[in-house]
Amino acid sequence: MQIGETTFDWGTKTFVMGVLNVTPDSFSRDGVGTDVERAVEQALRFQEWGADIIDIGGESTRPASIYPDSEMVSVVDELDRVLPVIEALTHLLEIPISIDTYKSEVATQAIASGAEIVNDVWGLTRDPDIGAVIAKSGVPVILTHNQAHTRYRDVVPDVFGRLHELTQNAIELGISKENIILDPGMGFGKTAQHNLQILRRLREFDALDMPLLVGMSRKSTIGYVLDLPVDDRIEGTAATVAISIANGADIVRVHDVKEMARVAKMTDAIVRGWEPRSDS
């Protein structure tokens, strides 16, 4: 897959997506707010630490069922948060910028400003125009499974089936299959048990024959299992990253880029093989 000027050769390694929240209310408490300088510095650190993509978000995606104070952000406010950062980073980064949004107007302006992939946590279902925007631009898209409840007959085949539907819908809207990445949506309309089961059975998603992104970084499931606050979940996140890679993830979306890039590299060495560097 081509994302901007970068070729992503799935299966050769696990790619690391660094989360850059330009929000005051990120669930993970890592948001840089509207401080463009801080955001740029963080993104450049992510690149130095081994990130392959920077995912910029201007609206918290934390579930309202867990965080009752979650509020929708207006298009104007979201643009005010993300555009200055994208514009500042476009000529500084050597890796692609992703825009984390489900709003067509935000996607349009973000792409025009330099974003090279759209990460839609609602899989093109919230805004009827966003699919056409992505299709016209030709940028890749991440389609995430999401729903407003936690009812499933069997979570893995149910999520699998819905991801297949989202893929077909995107193709019908004019998006190339080769430009689609799928995300099972850890924590979105799922209990902790659902999330853990998806991780255990991640290989079942291989049958979709699509690149797979997994984002369990600092999620509530880790907090429930370890009884730890959101800013003390690095070891739990490391476990989910390693298991995701072992079970077939192509991209891991993380907040702690320095540490998780190392975890990904070590897990890749075990799972995919490793050769020492030649000193010649």
Catalogue the active-site residues.
219, 253
130-137 helix and 104-113 helix, angle to the nearest 10 degrees: 20
- CA of 71: how far to CAs of 63, 79, 89, in Å? 10, 16, 27
Give the Cβ contact number of residue 73 at 10 Å: 20
Question: If we measure between CA atoms, which residue out of 126, 145, 222, 124 comes closest to residue 188?
Answer: 145
Distance, in Å, from the CA atom of 183 to the CA atom of 210, rounded to the nearest integer, reads: 10
Strand pairing of 2-3 and 6-7?
antiparallel
What is the separation, in whole angstroms, between the first and last Cα of the chain? 32
Distance, in Å, from the CA atom of 158 to the CA atom of 171, rounded to the nearest integer, reads: 20
SS3 category, 231: helix
Instruction: Give 15's DSSP letter.
Output: E
Q: Are 257 and 216 in contact (CB under 8 A)?
A: no
DSSP class per residue in 67-83: -TT--PPPHHHHHHHHH
How many residues comprise the chain?
A: 280
Instruction: Give 73's DSSP letter.
Output: P
